[in-house]
Amino acid sequence: MSDADTTGRAAGEAGAADRRREQRGWYFYDFACSVYSTSVLTVFVGPYLTSVAKAAADAEGFVHPLGVPVRAGSVFAYAVSASVVLAVLVMPLAGAAADRTGRKKPLLALSAYLGAAATAGMFFLDGERYLLGAFLLIVANASLAVSMVLYNAYLPQIAAPEERDAVSSRGWAFGYTSGALVLVLDLALYTNHASFGLSEADAVRICLASAGLWWGAFTLVPLRRLRDRRVAPGGEGTVGSGWRQLLATLRDMRRHPLTLSFLLAYLVYNDGVQTVISQASIYGSEELGLEQTTLITAVLLVQVLAVAGALGMGRLARTYGAKRTILASLAVWTLILAAGYFLPAGAPVWFYALAAAIGLVLGGSQALSRSLFSHLVPQGKEAEYFSAYEMSDRGLSWLGPLVFGLAYQLTGSYRDAIISLVVFFALGFVLLARVPVRRAVAAAGNPVPDRI
């Protein structure tokens, strides 16, 4: 072997080692922020904010923010929807700024710590302060969405095309692992709150605030290990140029109609996924009459099985392709909602069964959607295109919570609200089935994997 070959091989090994180091750091942002998604959004804040709103409600069960009559039971769903609208306004600008300057890390730090601070501030949510709770929820949820634009945009830079399904799935697995770990601690605190000299509400507020502290602490790991890439000079980084870059991005995306077709399908079915995640605890507590302890253990079951589900569906994707595996998961999601509509009240065992089914498809459907989209992004447009993806992931997932909230507002039944979400999965299945993903990858100028 020549000296040149030896030098090239050493450089390649060093590059691979650096890439693996970045990948390990990248996983830890999922580890940091997923605690918010599980402990806060999925378990505690929905039922607790609803109880605070009910405490402030009039005799007919309505609160009146800005003079508008709103059922107390709809406040949480509307706050989630409002947070998504705010995220829509900010995420494309963050993505365009990141691609223009090449400085993803400062923007990731800003959005992550703003969200962590808002979450920690939920410690002060008590009494009748439902407006404070709604405000903090809106800030935290929108901040998470913006940070995920920047986080996801690293994936094409730190993983080769053939690695992305596995790397994306490991990221989700890290997130579900942290969610399960913190839920065990939350369960111990909540069930033993009296022995700690705490009220039930105090225990919930500590669980909410600790999720913000966890988010902030573990965000330090990706901020240390991820690195920004240099970009060619491309103009000033002003707010005006950011908006111009956003408009240019939207025009550019019209040149990739197959990528847009995938985004449309993802927008629809992921709206259903995000709504199920955020509203499940409300459905369990208000419609099925389940105790908070049951909800915590059910979500813990989801977290444990989601790790296996994310890794298992990643393996299925290597055999059958990511598209077919996602389509199969959407069929399962539809069956889950149909079963959820008929769940008997006061029967935890059936709720656990449903939680197990959700866990097995949740992580995989999200992880494979992210890795599949990474193949459809033109090089150099990662943050901008992932801002559009994140708008589909969290940013445009306002319709599902709005439909859920309106269904309850009009009917007073959470069963009617939950069954209304079936349309998102059925329509998303049809739209995704029509996307020729191999042609879409080639049209984006990327190498087409053997199996996708």
- The phi and psi torsions of 103 (rounded to 5 degrees) equal -105, 80
- The phi and psi torsions of 334 (rounded to 5 degrees) equal -60, -45
Are 262 and 319 a contacting pair, CB within 8 Å?
Answer: no
Q: How far is 324 from 312, CA to CA, in rounded Å?
A: 14
The pLDDT of residue 189 is 94
Mean pLDDT of the chain: 84
Q: Name the β-bridge partners of 71.
A: 62
The pLDDT of residue 385 is 77
Residue 331's pLDDT band, with cuts at 50, 70 and 90, is very high
Q: How far is 104 from 323, CA to CA, in rounded Å?
A: 29
Q: Highest-confidence range of 138-147, 224-233, 244-253, 366-375, by mean pLDDT? A: 138-147
Are 236 and 73 a contacting pair, CB within 8 Å?
Answer: no
The pLDDT of residue 239 is 41
Residue with more model confidence, 167 or 241: 167
Range with the poorest average pLDDT among 5-14, 164-173, 285-294, 399-408: 5-14
Residue pointed to by tokens 């919570």: 401
The pLDDT of residue 446 is 86
pLDDT per residue as tens digits for the range 80-113: 888 988 887 887 778 777 777 778 899 999 999 9
Count how many Cα atoms sit within 13 Å of the Cα of residue 424 in the half-sphere of its side chain. 29
Residue with more model confidence, 254 or 339: 339
Is the pLDDT at 172 greater than 90? The verdict is: no
Residue 391's pLDDT band, with cuts at 50, 70 and 90, is low
pTM of the complete model = 0.72
Q: What percent of the chain has a predicted confidence (pLDDT) above 90?
A: 33
- 3-state secondary structure labels for all residues of 315-346: HHHHHHCHHHHHHHHHHHHHHHHHHHHCCCCC
Is the pLDDT at 300 greater than 80? The verdict is: yes
The pLDDT of residue 156 is 81
| Sequence-separated (6 or more) residues with CB below 8 Å from residue 303 | 38, 176, 177, 179, 180, 183, 359
Residue pointed to by tokens 């390649």: 12
Ordered DSSP codes for 216-258: HHHTHHHHHH--PPP----S---HHHHHHHHHHHHHHHTT-HH
The pLDDT of residue 250 is 66
Judging by beta carbons within 10 Å of its beta carbon (0-12, 13-18, 19+), is residue 427 exposed, middle or buried? middle
pLDDT per residue as tens digits for the range 220-272: 999 999 988 766 555 444 444 445 655 666 677 788 889 889 988 998 998 88
Average pLDDT over residues 365-393: 77
Residue 10's pLDDT band, with cuts at 50, 70 and 90, is very low
Average pLDDT over residues 50-63: 90
Are 136 and 119 a contacting pair, CB within 8 Å?
Answer: yes
- Alpha carbon distances (Å) from 55 to 121, 193, 363, 414: 20, 22, 36, 20
